[in-house]
Structure 1
Amino acid sequence: MKKKLLTAFALLVSIVCGAQETKIEFFTPSIVHVVKGDATKSLVVIAKPDDVKVTKKGNTWKTSELTVKLEPQTQTLVFMTNKGKVLLKEKGMSLIRKNTGEFEVSQSFFLDKDEAIYGLGTIQNGKMNRRGEKKRMEQTNLEDFQNVLQSIKGWGLYWENYSPTVFEDNAEGMSFTSEAGQGVDYYFMYGGSADGVIAQMRHLSGDVPMFPLWTYGFWQSKERYKSAKETESIVDQYRAHNVPLDGIIQDWQYWGSNYLWNAMDFLAEDFSNGKQMIQNVHKKHAHFMISIWASFGPMTLQFRELEKKGLLLPIETWPQSGISHVWPPIMKFPSGVRVYDAFHPEARAIYWKYLKTLFDYGTDAWWMDSTDPDFFNPKESDYNHKVYGGTWRSQRNAFPLATVRGIYQSQRKEAEKKRVFIMTRSSFAGQQHYGSNMWSGDVNSSWDMLRKQVPAGLSFTLTGNPNFNTDIGGFFCGSYNTRGKESAPKNPQFQELYVRWMQYGLFCPVFRSHGTEAPREIWQFGKKGEPIYDAIEKQIRLRYRLLPYLYSIAWQVTNNNDSYMRPLFADFAADKQVWNMADEFMFGRSILAAPILKAQYTEEKIIRTDAMTGWNSKTATDGTSAGAIDFTANKTAVKYLPKGAQWYDFWTGKQYKGGQNVTLETSIDRVPMFVRAGSILPLGPEMQYVGEKSWDNLELRIYPGANGEFVLYEDEGDNYNYEKGVFSTITFQWNDRSHTLTIGDRKGEYPGMLASRNFTIVLPNGTKQTVSYNGSKTEVKL
């Protein structure tokens, strides 16, 4: 039988499903777009279909990577590899018309009995595998959803719908059911691995632009510094303590009252010198981030302009009262604060017009708070409210994407010399393309919540968004204020939790301390020479030593679709022991992060709060461990080393075989971390801020046991010239049989590049050798 060739855009199959038809479009040989009904006008997908060669035979369509088959009896689709292995089967779909003219849309699928599935977003339940779960997905303070799922079998699915959606997996199958849409609309992706699916999702929705080098240093914040003088003094004190710092964050109310909410200017009396404050921070070799919101108080210029144009939403949002210093809110004095329609291009232009004031003052980065946005006491009329492109219900979950993208695109038009760096509380699919890092919301300070951050961050990463961080120590710590107001940093229970949370934060793309109810600066926890202070300082200094490794990972994220935080199954899928592991992960491709997530020195308290009740948390009067606590004592912990590699303890150099649990001696100042055999790990000098010292003598740690390669990436650090090829790379290759390190020819160049330098090569047994390098290929026998 002669086969027929089709190209993309072809209507491959039309089936009866009520009055609907199914359309199949091959975007690439391994990405299929399926629509039943009308397609969604995408806010996420920016790719265009390739010219894909498709072979049709009966009810089967085949590309070089993928086979799609229509089951004639059930009129459902089956997705297979081009060798015929079944990846995913449809089960059934439904379109139910609502009186608003929208449809409730649903599609279900069959999964294999033991098939593990991952992703969806920052679900804070402590789990990796989404099997057996039911979740209503609507953006909130603590949980954010991207509608991207992937399987251990190497396929992924992006559900193209922005309305609140129920994901459910049970004995009957897996399904997505969305409250509003014009049809079933999804993308099936076959990547063959976790990395492959992430690459497919980024192909559809955009790559990851690089952040400035300085963003990978240490950030200090709290809710909140109450004057320009206080904010600036924090930088002074870090410098006086000789503790590294690269970023200081100014949280809310620098604008004054709640009626001036998010005025985007320093209008409060104690911030009358705000512009000068930013200039002074820069003089101290630090960078400045400021809080901005998706809503405006009624006395702001933004509110007045947006209201005249009908570009404000009627929803009830934060803050609810105009009286800013009283909690709970006094509702007889409503704030009048309203959220803007971020979907509307004119509203986004107005937003940037006023934000440019802070940009012109020299602001380096944006803290975009409440980009969910906060949505209290929702009413049906709120959901039915018209916004640009649809209704609030139909667009709801894409709000963070719309508002973040508006800032990114506006700043890029304004200045190419300063990379966009946005930290935001919420995210939707595709947001990785718009210069944003998401934090996990106002989490409480508890060991239970710390444990939940690990799988939440990994699940977020698996949706294609690599940039994740948390409030180190948790946001609400009031239950640890057992010795008076703001005493938590002197409470041993909080001290231990904070140090271990910092050791987890060490392996997040952004390393940031923040919270309310007690300050978090290092000197609040004691003084130099004391175990907690020294442990905190040690983590910060280690972070700066890891910068050459971390910035090179950042380039791989941008250039090669890598991730910073990698679930263990991404690299060791053959080891079923790691499929559901939620307490260890790879940091890049070399370091196994195995943070301590249970109390070892103090009692573990169970503290439950949420984003609202946390503000009203009562001071605890009990729970402190009896007796003296010796933070200098050593403890033990059991960690699992994945099968398929040999491992070295980062601290001791001891070598272990993979596929086993190992018992480690631990201490309060050390985070368990291992390095994969075959790794080449570059470490930089200790420094007080990025750029203080040159990387002219990097330490290269070589871990024998397998061949290895590492690409050191360097550029100017804070502009977009790298997009034009203005950067350099040096490839290091380790031949394990001959014990030879080859330092390849340097490729590329950039202004300020080191023409020559030294590398100090170190083996796990302590052997060292320093070599000179001038950009030409060099071989070193060890």
Structure 2
Amino acid sequence: MKSLLNLFFLYIVITSIIYGKFEFAGKIKSYSVEKNRVEFNLTNAKFNIYILENNIIRFRFTNQKEFDRAPSYAVIYKQEEKTNFSFKEEKENFTISTDELVIQIKKDPCRVSIFDKQMNLINQDEESFGVAFDGDEVRCHKKLFTDEKFIGLGEKSKENLIKNGDQYTMWNTDFPAYTSTKDELYMSIPFFMGVRNFKAYGIYFDNTHKSQFNLGAANNRFYWFGAARGEMDYYFIYGPEMKRVISDYTKLTGRMELPPLWAIGYQQSRWSYYPESKVREIANGFRSRNIPCDVIYLDIHYMDEYRVFTWNKNRFPDPPKMLSDLKEDGFKIITIIDPGVKADPNYHAAKEGLEKNLFVKYPDGIPYQGEVWPSWSYFPDFTKKETRDWWGFKLSSLMKDGVEGFWNDMNEPATWGGGNIPDIVQFYDNGFVSDHKKIRNVYALEMAHATRDGLKKYSDKRHFILSRAGFAGIQRYAANWTGDNAVTEEHLRLALIMPVNIGLSGQPFIGSDVGGFMNGEPSNEMYIRWMQLGSFTPFFRGHSSIDTKAREPWAFNEFTEENARQAIQLRYKLLPFWYNEFFNSSKTGLPIMRAMFLNYQDDQNCYNLDAQYQFMIGENLLVAPVVTSTDKTKKFYLPKGKWYDWMNNKVETGGEYKIIEVPINKIPLFIKEGGMIPMQEVQNYVGEKNIEQLELVIFPSQKSTFSLYEDDGITYEYEKGIYSVTNFTCESAQNKLTFSVSKEKNSYNQNRKYYMLTILNSEQPKEIYSDKIEKKSIETNYDSSKKILKIKVPDKTEFTLTINF
């Protein structure tokens, strides 16, 4: 008996040590089945399961009396009032079934397990812990499978797309010259994917407080995610395809708006270009050297003592005239906009914000002031619609001057002194009033929201917004870049890894500061390699700090200038390809710059670190850039199938790693068999020329298709159906190739006159004819040394071309 008592007391002691003050979700006491959800009452919590779609389930726990009524900042999905599911009570479990998933909820204690329809386990609460509360803190513990890979979490600088074995924090932070070991960065996206047996699911944790994701760090039993405050509110998305998971995640949080075509071109920035004569000098530098460029940025020195919505009239005496002149030469001007409004009683923005009650405040009602570029400043409360409307109106004055977009910076929000806005500072929070701890991570999101609404309200043209910080859903409003990077070999590699990772997390319009922003000078070789990489990132901008040497392409030697020119020109040749991929992404939410395993989910080699320093653009183009300044070779992986080595004009067989020599003036590009890549002639800026010919580079397979989207690239007319979709089909049989063109939609006139078909790995043709094009109108050229056949034909709405070999 005594030994039993000792064991009992030992159990009590061990239990108290293990559980500490954590309170777990507990036993299910009662439930009710509603039209689109099931509601449970637990001993320690309330728990709702919402069935959004067959593969999207929302799990929501709170230890408060009621669920929070404040709307989500990230999720814009509107759940149907009635959804299809079945509910069954059993002795020890409840079971919810959809056409794709089976969710088992254990009664005592409440634990969730998710299966596919074949009852294969996909995801499971850790049996002993599940959801736990520790005062205000909330966590969810999930069973950790040894063969599971974790992917995502947005802007993380780890040099590996696989996130296993580490812990990550979501807390927007300005950290200049960060390294691969720095965790808290500018943007927080609490969404990740788990992949096991090559099948994927996603979890989006909809909580804006400081949150953490422990993906098996310091233990091999469970992974967990949680937040310092708020609810355990997460969405489970089943694929099993990663592409479907990402697409459905962006169904929840929104997708990128199709940007203006010029925003996909090259953009040049520096902290800072001033006065006006310097801006004109930079513009002339590009045009006189035939280096394409569409955008020049104005950093903080264009303002009057850093007051937003103003111009420094000594440096820029006539902004409308300057912007008009630059526009005539094809340049769009983007101005930086920081959230800090100088606390100057004579400054119109400060006076209006105070009068209209638009700034964040302390609990006693006094407006908060933080020190940033203008010195002590007020901070707009973008969680208030009146503030967002006012901010958009204030931006309209710059738009009237000719500004084409805005660069939202310092919007973590950053303040001097190494600290954050005090936690007690109050925000309107859409009428629910919250403190800085809840709002910090979404401050940039709502600033971008205000900027985007203002641009759409006061202009009928598409504009461009760039944001340093963000949260889940930022893709709805703005592009992002990876913050204040450094001139290091590590950051050259991160300029590939980080945009790919952010793309996997729902933000496709992403890039880095090409050449490195701060802390040194890139060598000629580093600058060339960075420029080559940048030309294949969705956002392509050169940028540098005020205390560095000039960083324009001609600031280096002639060889470097020429290689930078070639990289930028290649970007402009591929603009039809890029614009088509942006369109596809705006419809699907999928990244443009893709990890290899996104396109080849079942290929284990694509998850290896060696295969992560390469990527796909869309489905058909593989880019394997050199991401060191000194290497002259590149190791990369080609998935199974045939690939065309565009650099060396030869066919490679995939399914293995390759090592090739890569001269400093080359970037390895491979076209997948069946791939078609649309191209055009080089322009110095979008709209410089009327593009009369579309080139289609084709690596034929037995049968392949490609759809090309086109519109005016400027207005929102495409939303009214004014656009064109052209379908191309290429079929290859013995000694014959057939190429067909058809119009799926033809509401936009491209004014195109010709197609140039560039057929790779081709034999010399014996006969070429068409059903609708006269033979005399068909021009051909065959390069026997490269085995490339070029065929120029008039652009007919629909036609078929037959090539006999």
* TM-score bracket, shorter-length normalisation: 0.7 to 0.9
The Cα shift of 1:48 comes to 1.2
- 1:470-489 alpha-carbon deviations (Å, 9 max, x no partner): 10011004x33xxxxxxxxx
Give the equivalent residue in structure 1 for 2:75. Answer: 45
**Alignment partner, residue 267 of structure 1:** 312
In structure 1, distance between residues paired with 2:290 and 2:350? 44
Q: 2:472 aligns to what? A: 429
Could you say what secondary structure the match of 1:745 adopts?
A: strand
Shift, 1:13, TM fit: 4.5
> Which residue is 1:121 aligned to?
154
Distance in 1 (CA, whole Å) between partners of 2:613 and 2:262 is 28
TM-score (norm 1): 0.86
Which residue does 1:356 correspond to in 2?
A: 396
Which residue matches 2:798?
Answer: 776
Residue in structure 2 matched with residue 512 of structure 1 by the alignment: 541
Residue 278 of structure 2 corresponds to which residue in structure 1?
230
What is the alpha-carbon distance in structure 2 between the residues aligned to residue 571 and residue 268 of structure 1? Answer: 52
Kept in 2: contact 1:262–1:292 (CA 8 A): no
> Would the aligned equivalents of 1:454 and 1:583 in 2 still touch at CA under 8 Å?
yes
Q: Which residue of 1 aligns with 2:112?
A: 77
User: CA offsets per residue over residues 8-54 of structure 1, 9 Å max, x none?
Assistant: 75442414141x12100111111111111224521111111134210
Instruction: Give the Å deviation of 1:349.
Output: 2.1
- Bigger Cα displacement from structure 2, 737-746 vs 189-198: 737-746
1:418 aligns with 2:461: yes
How far apart are 1:441 and its partner, in Å? 0.4
Do the aligned residues in 1 keep the contact of 2:737 with 2:802 (CA within 8 Å)?
yes
Query: Would the alpha carbon gap of residues 737 and 199 (structure 1) be closer, same or farther in structure 2, given more than 3 Å must change?
Result: same
Q: Which amino acid aligns with 2:163?
A: R
Quick one: structure 1 residues 522 and 36, their matched pair in 2 at CA, closer, same or farther if it must change by over 3 Å? same
Q: For the aligned residues, what is the CA RMSD?
A: 2.1
Q: How does 1:298-447 map to 2 (within 5 A)?
A: 298-299=343-344, 300-308=347-355, 309=357, 311-312=359-360, 319=372, 335-376=375-416, 382-389=422-429, 390-415=434-459, 417-434=460-477, 436-447=478-489
Question: Residue in 1 aligned with 2:210?
Answer: 164
Tell me which of 579, 585, 588 is aligned to 1:560: 588
SS in 2 for 1:536: helix
Q: Which of 40, 55, 72 in structure 1 is aligned with 2:86?
A: 55
Aligned to 2:731: 735
Counterpart CA distance in 2 for 1:704 and 1:380 is: 56
Q: After the TM superposition, which of the residue ranges 571-580 and 158-167 deviates more from structure 2?
A: 571-580
Structure 2 residue 136 is the aligned partner of structure 1 residue 111: no
Per-residue CA shift, 1:621-641, capped at 9, x if unaligned?
xxxxxxxxxxxxxx3322221
- 1:66 pairs, out of 91, 101, 106, with 101
How much has 1:728 moved relative to structure 2?
Answer: 0.2
Cross-structure match for 1:655:
651
Map residues 212-223 of structure 1 onto 2, 5 A cutoff.
212-223=260-271
Matched position secondary structure for 1:230 = helix
Distance of 2:679 and 2:156 partners within structure 1: 34
2:206 counterpart letter in structure 1: E
SS at match of 2:277: helix
Matched length = 702
Cα offset for 1:705?
A: 4.0
Higher relative contact order (CA 8 A, sep 6+): 1
Q: Contact 1:44–1:429 (CA<8 Å) still a contact in 2? A: yes
Distance 2:371 2:292 in 1: 34
Q: Gapped runs of 5+ residues in structure 2?
A: 1-31, 176-184, 362-366, 762-786
* CA drift at 1:213: 0.8
Is the Cα contact below 8 Å between 1:523 and 1:533 reproduced in 2? Answer: yes
- The one-letter amino acid paired with 2:139 is S
Task: Give, in angstroms, the shift of residue 737 of structure 1.
Answer: 3.3
Distance 1:150 1:17, change over 3 A: farther
Partner of 2:190: helix, strand, or coil? strand
8 Å contact kept, 1:7–1:54: no
- Equivalent position to 1:201, from 224, 233, 249: 249
Match of 2:497 among 455, 479, 489: 455
Please say if 1:598 is aligned against 2:628: yes
Q: Are positions 1:12 and 2:38 aligned together? A: yes
> Displacement, 1:755?
6.1
Matches within 5 A, 1:536-555: 536-555=564-583
Q: 2:756 aligns with which of 745, 755, 759?
A: 759
| Cα distance in 1 for residues equivalent to 2:644 and 2:605 | 20
Identity of aligned residues (%): 25
- What SS class does the counterpart of residue 154 from structure 1 fall into? strand
Conserved in 2, the CA contact under 8 Å of 1:468 and 1:508?
yes
Displacement of 1:776 in angstroms is 1.4
1:710 aligns with 2:753: no
Q: Which runs of 5+ in 1 are unaligned?
A: 1-5, 98-102, 323-334, 481-492, 602-634
Shift of 1:80: 1.8
2:290 — aligned with what?
242
Amino acid at match of 1:431: I
- CA distance in 2 between counterparts of 1:11 and 1:544 reads 50
- Closer/same/farther in 2, CA of residues 69 and 15 from structure 1, 3 Å limit: farther
Conserved? CA contact 1:121–1:146, under 8 Å: yes
What is the one-letter code of the residue matched to 1:104? E
In the other structure, the counterpart of 2:132 is: 94
